[in-house]
Amino acid sequence: MQKIPIEIKGSNFTLLVLYLNTDNIDLINAALYKKIQEFPQFFKNAPIIVNVSSVLSETKWKKIQKIIIKYNLFIVGVSGCKNTGLKKVIIDSGLPVLSEFEKEHMHQDANVFYKNYISKKIKKEKKTHIVNKPVRSGQKIYAKHSDLIVINNVSAGAEIVADGNVHIYGSVRGRVLAGANGDITSQIFCSALFAELISVSGEYWLSDQIPSKFIGQATQIYLKNKLLTISFLN
């Protein structure tokens, strides 16, 4: 049977959003340099969305774009654009402008989809995937339609992903993503938290956003009122 030439399907990706709280070129450049020096491997060739809700001048976009590209970040879209002139400049630069309305509409559609389909499917297919060995830098482990239990350490540069819950009985220094298919009830449990990134159902924190009192501690990460929440694991 001959396959059709192309297919267009929905999918789920974890994308970082770069919020520009100023249009001062020097400040943006200095802030990006500092951030990338902290996590060079994490940000290398990373795809990002750029939020320009605080950028008012369309004349500065090309310089801002060059600075972002200079640091090996790949811009896949721009959000939060309120200025018609800026929107035209961004589109002319070859980038899509993401509508906030469309994103909210998609989010609502996704919630309906998850309630009527995913939750039933997860309950039906859910298993538990167990990893006993250390997860090395560069490795990615994905537990589809299941929880993931890692009974060892997770190195920096490694990625742990599960459609369900994630349990890590060891130190975690890489990236941890639970509820990868949108299950907002998923949680992360870990014995010693040093993660580069934690995410539940698309809501994420980088390491510098994790409250310092939880670093190195046994923690539980989950969504509460759609916001990422962390507490000590007693």
DSSP string across the chain: -PPPS----------EEEE-----HHHHHHHHHHHHHHSHHHHTT-EEEEE-TT---GGGHHHHHHHHHHTT-EEEEEE----HHHHHHHHHTT-PEEPHHHHHHHHHHHHHHIIIIIHHHHHHH-EEEEE-S-B-TT-EEEETTEEEEE-S-B-TT-EEEESS-EEEEEEE-SEEEE-TTS-TT--EEEEEE--SEEEETTEEEEGGGS-GGGTTS-EEEEEETTEEEEEE--
Residues 223 and 145 in one domain: yes
How much is the pLDDT for 171?
Answer: 94
Q: Of 61, 82, 98, which one is at a domain's C-terminal end?
A: 98
**Tokens (6 digits) for 20:** 């520009």
Rounded Cα gap, residues 52 and 20, in angstroms = 6
The residue with greater pLDDT, 129 or 106, is 129
The count of domains in the chain is: 2
Residues 129 and 87 in one domain: no
- Decide if 57 is inside a domain: yes
Query: Residue 194's Cα: distance from chain center in Å?
Result: 17
- For residue 25, give the CATH number of its domain: 3.30.70.260
Work out the average pLDDT over 169-196. Answer: 93
Q: Report the length, in residues, of the chain.
A: 234
Tell me which residue of 133, 132, 173 sits closest to 155, measured CA to CA.
Answer: 173
pLDDT band at 117 (very low <50, low <70, confident <90, very high): very low
Q: Which residues pair with 206 in a beta bridge?
A: 197
Q: For 73-116, how does the pLDDT look when each residue is reduced to its tens digit (9 = 90+)?
A: 999 999 988 888 999 999 999 999 987 544 444 444 444 444 44
Backbone phi, psi, residue 6, to 5°: -140, 160
Work out the average pLDDT over 24-53. Answer: 86
- Decide if 85 is inside a domain: yes
How much is the pLDDT for 192?
Answer: 94
| 168 pLDDT more than 80 | yes
Provide the domain limits for residue 185.
Answer: 123-232
Residues 204 and 142 in one domain: yes
Residue 87 burial by CB count (10 A; 0-12/13-18/19+): exposed, middle or buried?
middle
Q: Which residues pair with 188 in a beta bridge?
A: 166, 221
How much is the pLDDT for 198?
Answer: 94
Q: Of 48, 81, 98, which one is at a domain's C-terminal end?
A: 98
Report CA-CA distances (Å) from 205 to 68, 123, 171. 20, 27, 18
- Decide if 118 is inside a domain: no
Tell me the whole-structure pTM to 2 decimals: 0.57
Residues 78 and 133 in one domain: no
Q: Which residues pair with 227 in a beta bridge?
A: 224
Q: For 130-160, how does the pLDDT look when each residue is reduced to its tens digit (9 = 90+)?
A: 999 999 988 989 998 899 999 999 999 899 9
Residues 130 and 93 in one domain: no
Report CA-CA distances (Å) from 21 to 57, 59, 82. 13, 16, 14
- Decide if 105 is inside a domain: no
How much is the pLDDT for 112?
Answer: 46
Residues 46 and 130 in one domain: no
